[in-house]
Amino acid sequence: MTSSSPLIPIDKDELWLLEVVVEAGTPLSMLVGPEVALALNMPRSHGLSLGALCEKLVSLSERGLIRIHRAQDEGEVLRSHLEVARALAEREPFDLGGFVYRLTDRGGASWEHYARPDWSRFINASWSTEPNACVIEASSQDVAEEAYQRHEGDGSEFQPIPASKHGEVLVPWRATYWKVLPTGYRLRYDWVPRPRDVRRMMSQPKQGRWYSRLALDR
């Protein structure tokens, strides 16, 4: 989004709730509890009472910025205060069919207005077992290769196998579940277990954030 004003005005608490689901949907159960910031890798918690949290979620939903639905059935959508309040109170785990929320396209555009993301720096890396593989997706081959080089020397338990590397251009590239870009690059490689080098892991430089959190701090 390039407009100088957001599609729909949002406050800091609402922006917090949007940021949480930029890369993946989040179970409502994770929004409730004493360690919300730690669980969601956020600089702070939302700081809302259960009632205020419910109000914010319903308001975002009513304005078309998020969609709240059962994890195992996207057709079951929550819209009313009573429905959302019950889902928050139940706190049913995600893997047992609890409710999650995700950005809509409109919600993504509103988040982008405040966060000013640099999608050329966004990297999505995932590891799997059986088979032991890693998939890196990025805006270009160079960015993906840089991520691979970091994985080689980061001291983690995943030892890349260079001969297994395979890359492909993505046209278009679905960077996240809601954001589609014209092109991207996917790099896949196999890995074997290795002993973790905690000292090396701790010494790795932190990667710069690909979007701004300034609006959250105001």
List the domains of the chain with CATH numbers: 12-115 (1.10.10), 119-203 (no CATH)
In this predicted model, what pLDDT tens digit does every residue of 146-187 receive, in sequence order?
A: 999 999 999 899 999 999 999 999 999 999 999 999 999 999
| pLDDT of the residue at 146 | 95
> What is the distance, to the nearest Å, from the Cα of residue 190 to the centroid of all Cα atoms in its chain?
24
Kindly give the pairing relationship between strand 180-181 and strand 133-138.
unpaired
Average pLDDT over residues 138-144: 97
CA-based nearest residue to 112, from 40, 25, 179, 45: 179
Q: pTM here?
A: 0.88
Q: Residue 37: CB partners within 8 Å, gap ≥ 6?
A: 43, 44, 45
Residue 120 has pLDDT above 90, yes or no: yes
